[in-house]
């Protein structure tokens, strides 16, 4: 139907242009026929306006262009005198129509043609399989990764189950504790291999000019690991679990600031020294940007609940983060970026329980517990149970108020390839050995409250095309209580804090948006499993990945 309408409109257009743009017409009819011709042309142009093919402004401009030139028009006859009609060589009356230059006609044709094509595209004329308009407001993204991983553990590592001093303190509960049958919970000396996959698929909807909303699905062996979306293969062909990794709405009244609520990507400028790459944030965040003569300024702030407050069941835990920074623009599109953040955790630090609490409180011990489903390894933990209780619940000995300075220098033309130098420094302002002793009854003689990472990257940040490549080398040092071990990198040293060492990585593009990468991570323990003991743990991990992005 729309195709037929288009044909009718184009036919009317051709008639109108032919009538309006003829250079000279020698009329063989009376002057009344000229008036009829002009009336017909005017009617056709009005029809085009009413159909939406021409605007009234453009129609008026067309009529002005075809009006006789006042300078060349015949002078009006004197009052009462009859104007002598113009005759041709053959003695017949001549009617003249103003000449329109070819350039003007060509411009008019192109304008009208462009409007017709634009309207046809917008209304999808002649497309019976045209998709609904709301689909045009959706965008899709996703990626896939298949990984082969080899983990080599030091043969002189401390045997598992031997790092828990007096049953009271530890930094690696999975390696230091035995299970109820008296056997070790973890492995410290035997090498192992595993294959893993990660698949992510997201949809972002543009609700209107100010509001967007998004969801993302991802693989994951369980919902108990906030830092990993890997699915380990070898499940006897059983199907994989799929979890909701993101679910958010973002409101941006203008380009300078916006608010995001729900489960979102990391809203802060940081490296995986503090927050793992796959970590999702739950809560509310505000972000602002401002361009000024010194570069691009930015600021972020957010409130993120960790547990809900349910009296008698669980206590409220949360994190509040604020960050300010600036990206200084230099010549050759080089950039120096700085970000200073402070991340404060509330309600996560434990206290030793009393016997009275054991007998009277329904949330005894669990209100202070740093659960195995959340923690990785590295933070200083102590047993929170009362002295008469034979069970073991572990809680965090330190407070966590993390000051984080992140900086990167991007050099886009050094050696013909982009080079990025990154330095990240973190310090836990809440780590206080005197307060820890008052809280736990133990004088802590070791433990570290700071960490840093230095990284050099060569080549594009992401490989998109065949033949592209990049490489990076990093040194990482992260003290036991510098950050909350639950949210930092889950690969280096098999996850968590209290480790140091090197990371070497390279990627190469096989095809468009398809690449392979290799990464080697070599880590050594900094402080022992338990304060005051002597333990050793080292690991070397090789990861080979096949990646695809769409």
228/309 same-domain check: yes
| Secondary structure letter of residue 133 according to DSSP | G
193/269 same-domain check: yes
Instruction: Give the start-end residues of each E strand in 370-434.
Output: 381-383, 394-396, 401-411, 419-428
pLDDT digits (tens, 9 = 90+) for 407-451: 999 998 777 789 999 999 999 999 999 999 999 888 888 999 999
pLDDT digits (tens, 9 = 90+) for 207-236: 999 999 999 999 976 566 788 889 999 989
110/182 same-domain check: no
High-pLDDT (> 70) share of the chain, %: 80
Q: b/e map of 257-270 (b: 16 or more CB within 10 Å)?
A: ebebbbbbbbbbbb
d(CA 19, CA 27): 13
Give the residue-averaged pLDDT of 384-391.
Answer: 91
What does the H/E/C string look like for 1-25?
Answer: CHHHHHHHHHHHHHHHHHHHCCCCC
pTM exceeding the 0.85 threshold for the entire prediction: no
53/159 same-domain check: no
Which ranges of 51-93 does DSSP label H, i.e. alpha helix? 56-65
Of 32-36, 158-162, 472-476, the poorest mean pLDDT is in: 32-36
**pLDDT at 120 > cutoff 90:** no
**pLDDT at 22 > cutoff 60:** no
d(CA 548, CA 223): 24
pLDDT digits (tens, 9 = 90+) for 196-210: 999 999 999 999 999
| Chain centre to alpha carbon of residue 362 | 42
pLDDT of amino acid 132: 74
Strand partners of residue 277: none
123/200 same-domain check: no
Chain position carrying tokens 């409109």: 9
Kindly state whether residue 77 falls inside one of the protein's structural domains. Answer: no
Q: Which residues contact 434 (CB under 8 A, 6 or more apart)?
A: none
What does the H/E/C string look like for 502-531?
Answer: EEEEEEEEEECCEEEEEEEEEEEECCCCCC
Kindly state whether residue 146 falls inside one of the protein's structural domains. Answer: no
Strand partners of residue 217: 201, 244
d(CA 173, CA 159): 13
Kindly state whether residue 277 falls inside one of the protein's structural domains. Answer: yes
Q: Which of 349, 322, 351, 323 is nearest to 337 (CA)?
A: 323
Q: Which has more pLDDT, 36 or 302?
A: 302
119/194 same-domain check: no
User: Could you tell me if 207 and 420 are in contact, meaning their C-beta atoms sit under 8 angstroms apart?
Assistant: no
522/389 same-domain check: yes
pLDDT of amino acid 20: 47
Q: How would you classify residue 435: left for phi > 0, otherwise alpha for psi between -120 and 50, otherwise beta?
A: alpha
**Pairing outcome for strands 419-428 and 401-411:** antiparallel
High-pLDDT (> 90) share of the chain, %: 58
110/217 same-domain check: no
User: Could you tell me if 283 and 266 are in contact, meaning their C-beta atoms sit under 8 angstroms apart?
Assistant: no
Give the residue-averaged pLDDT of 290-296.
Answer: 89
Number of domains in the chain: 2
Kindly state whether residue 76 falls inside one of the protein's structural domains. Answer: no
57/184 same-domain check: no
pLDDT of amino acid 128: 60
pLDDT of amino acid 165: 56
**pLDDT at 74 > cutoff 90:** no
**pLDDT at 531 > cutoff 80:** no
pLDDT classification of 66: cutoffs 50, 70, 90: low
Burial class of residue 187 (count of CB atoms within 10 Å of its CB; 0-12, 13-18, 19+) = middle
How many residues in total does the chain contain? Answer: 550
**pLDDT at 13 > cutoff 60:** no
Kindly state whether residue 354 falls inside one of the protein's structural domains. Answer: yes
97/196 same-domain check: no
Dihedral sign for Cα atoms in the order 212, 213, 218, 222: positive
Kindly state whether residue 244 falls inside one of the protein's structural domains. Answer: no
Kindly state whether residue 202 falls inside one of the protein's structural domains. Answer: yes
**pLDDT at 116 > cutoff 90:** no
CATH of the domain at 212: 2.40.160
56/198 same-domain check: no
123/158 same-domain check: no
Give backbone dihedrals phi and psi of 432, rounded to 5 degrees, phi first: -140, 110
Q: Which residues contact 269 (CB under 8 A, 6 or more apart)?
A: 298, 300, 323, 325, 337, 339, 341, 406
**pLDDT at 51 > cutoff 70:** no
Kindly state whether residue 339 falls inside one of the protein's structural domains. Answer: yes
Domain residues for the domain of 66 are 2-70+91-127
| Secondary structure letter of residue 373 according to DSSP | T
């Amino acid at each position: 139907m729309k195709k037929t309408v288009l044909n009718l409109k184009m036919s009317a257009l051709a008639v109108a242009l032919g009538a309006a743009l003829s250079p000279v017409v020698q009329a063989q009819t009376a002057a009344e026929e000229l008036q009829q011709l002009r009336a017909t042309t005017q009617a056709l142009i009005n029809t085009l306006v009413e159909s939406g093919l021409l605007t009234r402004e453009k129609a008026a401009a067309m009529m002005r262009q075809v009006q006789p030139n006042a300078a060349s028009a015949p002078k009006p006859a004197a009052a009462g005198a009859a104007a002598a009609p113009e005759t041709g060589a053959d003695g017949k009356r001549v009617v003249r129509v103003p000449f329109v230059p070819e350039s003007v006609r060509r411009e008019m044709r192109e304008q009208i043609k462009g409007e017709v094509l634009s309207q046809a595209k917008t209304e999808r004329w002649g497309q019976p399989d045209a998709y609904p308009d709301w689909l045009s407001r959706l965008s899709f993204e996703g990626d896939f990764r298949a990984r082969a991983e080899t983990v080599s553990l030091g043969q002189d590592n401390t045997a598992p189950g031997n790092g828990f001093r007096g049953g009271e303190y530890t930094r690696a509960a999975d390696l230091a504790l035995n299970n109820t049958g008296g056997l070790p919970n973890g492995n410290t000396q035997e090498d192992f291999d595993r294959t893993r996959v990660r698949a992510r698929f997201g949809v972002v909807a543009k609700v209107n000019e100010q509001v967007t909303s998004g969801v993302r699905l991802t693989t994951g062996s369980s919902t108990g690991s906030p830092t990993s979306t890997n699915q380990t293969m070898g499940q006897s062909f059983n199907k994989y679990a799929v979890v909701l990794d993101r679910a958010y709405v973002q409101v941006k009244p203008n380009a300078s600031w916006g608010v995001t609520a729900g489960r979102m990507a990391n809203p802060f400028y940081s490296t995986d020294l503090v927050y793992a790459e796959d970590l999702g944030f739950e809560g509310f965040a505000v972000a602002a940007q401002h361009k000024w003569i010194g570069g691009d300024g930015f600021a972020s702030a957010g409130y993120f609940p960790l547990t809900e407050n349910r009296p008698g069941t669980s206590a409220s835990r949360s994190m509040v983060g604020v960050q300010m920074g600036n990206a200084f623009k230099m010549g050759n599109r080089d950039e120096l970026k700085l970000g200073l953040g402070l991340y404060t955790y509330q309600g996560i630090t434990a206290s030793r329980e009393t016997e009275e609490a054991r007998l009277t409180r329904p949330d005894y011990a669990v209100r202070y517990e740093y659960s195995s489903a959340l923690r990785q390894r590295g933070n200083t933990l102590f047993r929170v149970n009362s002295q008469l209780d034979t069970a073991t619940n572990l809680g965090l000995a330190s407070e966590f108020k993390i000051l984080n300075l992140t900086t990167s220098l991007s050099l886009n033309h050094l050696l013909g390839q982009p080079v990025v130098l990154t330095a990240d420094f973190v310090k836990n302002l809440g780590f206080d050995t005197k307060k820890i002793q008052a809280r736990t009854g133990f004088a802590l003689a070791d433990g570290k409250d700071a960490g840093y990472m230095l990284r050099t990257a060569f080549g594009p940040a992401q490989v998109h095309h065949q033949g592209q490549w990049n490489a990076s080398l990093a040194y990482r040092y992260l003290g036991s209580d510098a950050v909350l071990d639950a949210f930092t990198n889950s690969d280096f040293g098999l996850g968590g804090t209290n480790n140091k060492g090197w990371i070497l990585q390279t990627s190469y593009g096989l095809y468009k948006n398809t690449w392979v990468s290799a990464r080697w991570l070599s880590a050594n323990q900094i402080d022992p499993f338990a304060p005051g003991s002597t333990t050793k743990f080292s690991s070397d991990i090789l990861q080979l990945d096949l990646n695809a992005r769409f």
